[in-house]
Amino acid sequence: MAAVATMEGFEGYWGPPTATMDWCEGNYMVTPYAAEFFNSLTSMFIAVAGILPILIHFRRRDCMEWRFIIAFLSVTIVGLGSVAFHGTLLFEHQRWDQVPMLWTVAMILYVLFEQKHVQPAYRILPVALFVYAVVATLATSKRSGDMQWFSFHAFFGLATFLAVCKVTLFYRSLPTDMTELRKVMSYGFIALGVAITVWLMDLKLCNQLHMLPAYDYWNFHAWGWHLMVSCGLYNILIGIWYHRLKVVLEKDVSLCLSPLPHIAFVPPKLA
């Protein structure tokens, strides 16, 4: 996929790459046990971004609907799959990264479409999303070179485009006096915009970027894409959850912006 550097004449612990994608970071540059060490290491940002909201709000897990628990945990699974993929560059581990991405965006779509309804409003929605995710999984799990790359990005890109449209409409519908929520959502949009930009740069400008000093150690995919997409997902999902609690379910909550965006639950008043 991208031009990469590898230790000459050296084959790492996992053997030659069999994945249909090989990123700009040089293979086995740091240790023989990790194909793309920094890409693998920074994938943990994504895993943390998914589990952190559950840990922060664990005491009020009674207020966390299953749709949000599944969405957050799905993000964590994507992160762990990305660790395996970048760490080995094996096709079977590439699927551990890509398949959870497909199911995660499907889950986020469910959250977005049902955001303003107290009770599920679209009976066919979970069935349609499930079928889409199954078809996408089957289409992208078969090893077929460029066709696998195209299939994954077509299915994932379509679902992601729809999710971005829904989130954008959600943001535009927010009252101007919901200042904190609009800030959190804005942070998420900015982070995702930066993430996509550096992802494309790392993909398309690999040879040029390798002219920069020690690019393998601070490459855009690792320290740009992984970090920024983690921040973006965290902020946007926290914002959507807060809106549902505050506006739809009418819970007594507030949105705090520091040290990390989180939801504060107001304790019930004693009689």
Q: How far apart are CA 229 and CA 199, in angstroms?
A: 10
DSSP for residue 14: T
**Does residue 21 lie within any of the structural domains?**
no
Question: How many independent structural domains does the chain possess?
Answer: 1
Strands (E), the chain: 253-256, 262-265
Distance from the first to the final alpha carbon of the chain: 65
86 in a known ligand binding site: yes
Helix (H) or strand (E) holding 253: strand 253-256
74-96 pLDDT per residue, tens? 999 999 999 999 999 999 999 99
Summary mean pLDDT of the chain = 92
* CATH number for position 106: 1.20.1070
Closest CA to 195 of 167, 234, 165: 234
- Indicate whether 13 belongs to any domain: no
**Residue-wise burial string across 32-43, b where 16 or more C-beta atoms lie within 10 A, e elsewhere:** eebbbbbbbbbb
Q: Is residue 93 part of a domain?
A: yes
Residues 65 and 48: their CA atoms lie apart, in Å, by 20
Q: Is 180 annotated as a binding residue?
A: no
| 250 in a labelled binding site | no
Residue 185 located in a structural domain: yes
Q: What pLDDT score was predicted for residue 28?
A: 95
Query: Which single residue is written with the structure tokens 């915009």?
Result: 193
Q: 101-134: per-residue pLDDT in tens?
A: 999 999 999 999 999 999 888 889 999 999 999 9
Domain annotation covers residue 233: yes
Domain that holds residue 79: 37-265
CB 112 within 8 A of CB 167: yes
Whether 214 is in a domain gets the answer yes
Is 226 annotated in a binding site? The answer is yes
Q: Is residue 163 part of a domain?
A: yes
Q: Nearest to residue 100, comparing CAs of 133, 65, 139, 52?
A: 133
Q: What is the pLDDT of residues 132-167, one digit of tens each?
A: 999 999 999 877 678 888 999 999 999 999 999 999
Note whether residue 12 is domain-resident.
no
* Cα separation, 138 vs 123, whole angstroms: 24
